[in-house]
């Protein structure tokens, strides 16, 4: 059996990522503005399928989709003091309209808390109007000063799914945070992306939030990437924007808000984590093409083989399978295999003279490169079964690598060495003080992802710096 080389792939991951975006025609990063790229048809189809999952999960939890303006007036962006302090260095400004200088500068939204603020003030009057759960999927703009990277750190975030909710009490906002965590976990599970869930340290929370919960995954090079965040905003924005409601007993009260977001980083993770040295490997539920049919022509039988391929294509289409027949004439089957492997198509059907004679088809799995033969009549069921198997096995493999690269550490030098040599995530006991937190970061030359929230039984240990007893476990990694 042919084997999959993942060692070499991890070593050259950064280069691999750029190549794959380009050769699989996902995203073209050569657009003449730094931090902006173009979704190409195949990438766009993948993005659409991922967003379909996102929409389904949000809609089924009673979120309503809306669309806010791209522009935010300067005085609104500035209403919440912490928020504006956190974002002001990253804002693009519109200052002209044609030849006229604008009286009031307009920001290209870096996120939309301050765009929805004045609207919630108009929409919410009484406790009967609560909760409100909205989301939009839009472009936002951030003038990132760290090195930009396609899909991972862009200046136009084209796939920003941001949810904004309002509630009557702090407890309900906390509950909404938990629901959002559940929804994100579901999205990542559907994509087979492994993650840890952490409460971000105080010094690294979202500007304007009470607290921030983040999802982090591990990229193939061993660095952690934040793929989603959930924030409890408390009453910070509702005070700034005067979003009040009438309580049951007739008082005016500020609403409690949450917000949570994901971006094309989810696509970056999806593309990267499942890949191998041949290119992408896509889970069947989001793959733009689930099965590629490739005729294996044989002298004198070309036409019959092609006819059979067309017949099979129609059967699969009728059964709702996303299928494509590669009947390009000037290309060898070998180069076609290469092309579609690069694009991560989960299964391939080959039809040659022997298959034709025996009424069979040969199916190959992209994830394991295994081949099976089955009777033509069984093909649809076989494929459906394979899609499930492939999904499960991709997810299992991704999680097992993720767990293998998570280390419980009691010696700080050891933690530093592991992160330096192999990457991954380390877990250490931490008393929770900012001083010890910074010291752990400095001595391991890594960044604290936060305090673990997803562990079943928390033992007691001693802070790796000061020795105080604690049940808090901090996670750290080199990050994107
Ligand atoms: C939550 C949604 C917010 O902006 N406001 C509305 C909140 N949170 S965040 O953490 O700042 O961003 C949410 C997620 O977006 C991704 N992200 C990016 N992706 C690509 N390029 C960028 N420049 C970029 N900046 C943020 C991260 O995954 C982040 O968790
Ligand atoms: Zn300590």
At 346, which CATH number? 3.40.50.800
- 97/224 same-domain check: yes
pLDDT > 90 fraction of the chain, expressed in percent and rounded? 96
- 41/133 same-domain check: yes
Q: How far is the CA of 286 from the CAs of 27, 42, 318, 387, in angstroms? A: 17, 12, 19, 11
| Region label for 261, one of left (φ > 0), alpha (ψ between -120 and 50) or beta (otherwise) | beta
CB 252 within 8 A of CB 245: yes
Ligand nearest to the CA of 237: 1
Q: Kindly give the distance from the C-alpha atom of residue 195 to the centroid of ligand 2, in angstroms, as a whole number.
A: 26
Q: Whose CA is nearest to atom 25 of ligand 1?
A: 153
Q: How far is the CA of 315 from the CAs of 4, 310, 378, in angstroms? A: 31, 9, 12
343 is in which domain, residue-wise?
291-386
Radius of gyration of the chain (CA): 25
Q: Whose CA is nearest to atom 4 of ligand 1?
A: 111
Residue at 394 is within a domain: no
Q: Does the pLDDT value for residue 123 go beyond 60? A: yes
- 121/49 same-domain check: yes
Segment 280-323, tens digit of pLDDT = 999 999 999 999 999 999 889 999 999 999 999 999 999 999 99
CATH number of the domain enclosing 224? 3.30.930.10
Q: Whose CA is nearest to atom 5 of ligand 1?
A: 111
Using a 6 Å CB cutoff, which residues line ligand 1?
Answer: 111, 142, 144, 153-154, 157, 162, 206, 226-229, 231, 259-265
- 179/262 same-domain check: yes
Query: Which atom of ligand 1 is least distant from the CA of 110?
Result: 4
pLDDT > 70 fraction of the chain, expressed in percent and rounded? 99
For the segment 192-207, the average pLDDT, to the nearest whole number, is 97
Q: Which of 115, 208, 263 to mutate to test the pocket of ligand 1 (most atoms within 8 A of CB)?
A: 263
pLDDT band at residue 1 under the 50/70/90 scheme? very low
Structurally, the chain folds into a number of domains equal to 3
**CA 41, CA 38: separation in Å to the nearest integer?**
10
Segment 151-176, tens digit of pLDDT = 999 999 999 999 999 999 999 999 99
CATH number of the domain enclosing 447? 3.30.110.30
Burial class of residue 159, CB neighbours in 10 A (0-12, 13-18, 19+): buried
Query: Which atom of ligand 1 is least distant from the CA of 228?
Result: 30
Q: Kindly give the distance from the C-alpha atom of residue 461 to the centroid of ligand 2, in angstroms, as a whole number.
A: 11
Query: Which atom of ligand 1 is least distant from the CA of 229?
Result: 30
The pTM for the full model equals 0.97
pLDDT band at residue 387 under the 50/70/90 scheme? very high
- 108/226 same-domain check: yes
Residue at 281 is within a domain: no
- 423/381 same-domain check: no
Give the model's pLDDT for residue 336.
98
Domain boundary among 232, 247, 274: 274
Q: Kindly give the distance from the C-alpha atom of residue 162 to the centroid of ligand 1, in angstroms, as a whole number.
A: 9
Give the model's pLDDT for residue 459.
87
Residue at 397 is within a domain: no
Residue at 285 is within a domain: no
Q: Kindly give the distance from the C-alpha atom of residue 276 to the centroid of ligand 1, in angstroms, as a whole number.
A: 27
For the segment 36-45, the average pLDDT, to the nearest whole number, is 98
For the chain, what is the mean pLDDT? 96
Give the model's pLDDT for residue 338.
96
Q: Whose CA is nearest to atom 6 of ligand 1?
A: 162
- 109/46 same-domain check: yes
- 382/472 same-domain check: no
Residue at 391 is within a domain: no
Domain boundary among 241, 274, 307: 274
Q: Does the pLDDT value for residue 354 go beyond 50? A: yes
CB 391 within 8 A of CB 284: yes
Give the model's pLDDT for residue 10.
87
**CA 224, CA 242: separation in Å to the nearest integer?**
38
Q: What phi and psi values does residue 139 have, to the nearest 5 degrees?
A: -85, 140
Q: Does the pLDDT value for residue 3 go beyond 80? A: no
- 138/25 same-domain check: yes
Instruction: Count Cβ neighbours within 10 Å for each residue of 44-83 and write b for 16 or more, e otherwise.
Output: ebbbebbbebbeebbeeeebeeeebebebbbebbbbbeeb
Instruction: Count Cβ neighbours within 10 Å for each residue of 7-29 and write b for 16 or more, e otherwise.
Output: eebbeebeebbeebbeebbbbeb
**CA 30, CA 35: separation in Å to the nearest integer?**
10
Residue at 283 is within a domain: no
- 153/222 same-domain check: yes
pLDDT band at residue 218 under the 50/70/90 scheme? very high
Domain boundary among 386, 417, 437: 386
Q: Does the pLDDT value for residue 88 go beyond 60? A: yes
For the segment 84-107, the average pLDDT, to the nearest whole number, is 97
Identify the CA nearest to 43 among candidates 23, 60, 62.
Answer: 23
Residue at 227 is within a domain: yes
- 184/145 same-domain check: yes
Decide the pairing of beta strands 291-295 and 347-351: parallel
- 263/360 same-domain check: no
Give the model's pLDDT for residue 6.
82
Residue at 168 is within a domain: yes
């Amino acid at each position: 059996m042919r084997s999959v080389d993942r060692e070499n792939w991890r070593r050259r991951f950064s280069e691999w990522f750029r190549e794959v975006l380009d050769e699989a025609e996902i995203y073209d990063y050569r657009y003449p503005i730094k931090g902006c790229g173009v979704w190409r048809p195949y990438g766009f189809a993948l993005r659409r399928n991922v967003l379909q999952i996102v929409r389904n999960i949000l809609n089924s939890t009673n979120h309503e989709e809306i669309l806010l303006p791209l522009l935010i007036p300067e005085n609104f962006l500035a209403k919440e003091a912490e928020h504006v302090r956190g974002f002001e260095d990253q804002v693009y400004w519109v200052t002209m309209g044609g030849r006229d200088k604008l009286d009031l500068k307009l920001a290209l939204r870096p996120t939309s808390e301050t765009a929805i603020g004045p609207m919630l003030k108009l929409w919410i009057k009484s406790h009967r109007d609560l909760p409100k759960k909205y989301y939009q999927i839009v472009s936002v703009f951030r003038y990132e000063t760290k090195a930009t990277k396609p899909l991972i750190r862009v200046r136009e975030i084209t796939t920003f799914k941001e949810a904004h909710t309002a509630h009557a009490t702090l407890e309900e906002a906390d509950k909404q945070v938990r629901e959002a965590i559940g929804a994100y976990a579901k999205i990542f599970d559907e994509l087979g992306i492994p993650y840890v869930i952490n409460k971000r340290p105080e010094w690294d929370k979202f500007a304007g939030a009470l607290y921030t919960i983040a999802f982090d995954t591990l990229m193939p090079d061993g660095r952690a990437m934040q793929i989603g965040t959930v924030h409890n905003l408390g009453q910070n924005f509702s005070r700034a924007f005067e979003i009040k409601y009438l309580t049951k007993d007739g008082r005016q009260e500020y609403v409690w808000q949450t917000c949570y977001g994901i971006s094309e980083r989810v696509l970056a993770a999806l593309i990267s984590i499942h890949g191998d040295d041949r290119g992408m490997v896509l889970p069947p539920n989001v793959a733009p093409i689930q099965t590629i049919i490739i005729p294996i022509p044989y002298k004198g039988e070309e036409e019959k083989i092609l006819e059979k391929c067309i017949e099979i294509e129609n059967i699969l289409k009728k059964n709702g399978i996303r299928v494509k027949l590669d009947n390009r004439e000037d290309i060898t089957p070998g180069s076609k295999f290469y092309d579609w492997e690069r694009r991560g198509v989960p299964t391939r059907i080959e039809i040659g003279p022997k298959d034709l004679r025996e009424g069979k088809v040969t199916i190959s799995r992209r994830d394991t490169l295994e081949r099976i033969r089955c009777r033509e009549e069984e093909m649809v069921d076989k494929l459906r079964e394979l899609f499930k198997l492939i999904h499960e096995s991709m997810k299992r493999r991704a999680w097992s690598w993720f767990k293998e690269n998570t280390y419980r550490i009691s010696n700080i030098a050891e933690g530093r060495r592991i992160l330096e040599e192999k990457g991954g995530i380390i877990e250490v006991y931490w008393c929770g003080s900012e001083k010890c937190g910074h010291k752990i970061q400095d001595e391991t030359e890594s960044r604290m992802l936060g305090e673990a929230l997803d562990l079943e039984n928390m033992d007691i240990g001693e802070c790796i710096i000061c020795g105080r007893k604690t049940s808090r476990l901090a996670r750290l990694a080199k990050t994107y």
